[in-house]
């Protein structure tokens, strides 16, 4: 065997890492390292893309009040606030790079910690917007409406400033009569309207429409006016 053949044999066919009683040739090690590198790059791309999509989604839903107010969207956009948020999240990502993934170079760490920082911020902001929209931090909200319906406590929450008319007592009696036919009760909470109350009433009204049929409010008003105009009540 010539000297060059000997070197070829030693370099390309030398057995490297051992795994139990099996040996992995140097060529296989090179392929494994290459595959790992491709997987890491793909993961970084997926992580970065996810961070960008979630951040944009969080901004859109935050500004549009969970997608309910697109009419004033552009007037509500605050570029300065968005840039400040991006700067703060970037600083947090740089800071996280000092403590996590220590086996990697700092620039490689930032490819992971910066997207992670934006993903965490986006998830926190989406949670905050969802809580505010559904009124989850209030006494009355989407879930308490579902619970009240299940427990048979169907009620519509009334808000606003009320000026009692002269026939207030008669109206109260008539309202109770008409409400019992549909069936629900009215509860006055005061002057302040919160989003939780709006969501609560929306769920209750959808339920009442299912059991009373469409246009039940019109029929209720007709019954109310009929009783008010009759002489059966004094």
pLDDT of residue 233: 56
Contact present, 186 and 155 (Cβ < 8 Å):
yes
pLDDT of residue 28: 52
pLDDT of residue 119: 95
**What residue spans define the domains of the chain?**
3-134, 142-229
Distance CA 62, CA 130 (A): 9
Mean pLDDT of the chain: 79
Would strands 185-190 and 22-25 be described as parallel, antiparallel, or unpaired? unpaired
Q: What share of the chain is helix, strand, coil (3-state, %, to 5)?
A: 65, 10, 25
CA quadruple 184, 186, 189, 195: dihedral sign: positive
CA quadruple 68, 73, 76, 80: dihedral sign: positive
* Residue 234 neighbours by CB under 8 Å, 6+ apart: 170
The residues of the chain scoring below 50 in pLDDT are: 7-21, 23, 31
Among residues 103, 9, 121, 5, which one has the least CA distance to residue 62? 121
Distance CA 80, CA 125 (A): 17
pLDDT of residue 19: 44
pLDDT of residue 221: 81
């Amino acid at each position: 065997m010539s000297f060059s053949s000997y070197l070829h044999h030693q370099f390309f066919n030398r057995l490297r890492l051992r795994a139990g009683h099996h040996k992995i040739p140097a060529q296989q090690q090179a392929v494994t390292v290459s595959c790992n590198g491709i997987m890491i790059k793909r993961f970084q791309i997926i992580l970065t893309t996810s961070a960008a999509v979630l951040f944009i989604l969080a901004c859109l839903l935050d500004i549009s009040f969970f997608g309910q107010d697109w009419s004033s969207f552009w007037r509500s956009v605050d570029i300065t606030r968005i840039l400040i948020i991006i700067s703060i999240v970037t600083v947090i990502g740089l800071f996280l790079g000092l403590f996590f993934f220590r086996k990697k170079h700092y620039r490689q760490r930032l490819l992971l910690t910066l997207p992670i920082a934006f993903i965490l911020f986006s998830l926190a902001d989406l949670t905050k917007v969802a809580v505010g929209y559904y009124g989850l931090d209030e006494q009355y909200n989407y879930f308490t409406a579902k619970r009240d319906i299940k427990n048979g406590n169907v009620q519509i929450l009334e808000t606003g400033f009320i000026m009692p008319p002269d026939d207030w007592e008669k109206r109260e009696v008539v309202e109770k009569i008409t409400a019992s036919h549909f069936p629900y009760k009215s509860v006055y909470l005061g002057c302040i309207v919160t989003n939780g109350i709006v969501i609560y009433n929306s769920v209750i009204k959808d339920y009442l429409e299912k059991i009373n049929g469409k246009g039940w409010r019109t029929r209720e008003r007709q019954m109310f006016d009929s009783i008010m105009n009759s002489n059966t009540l004094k």
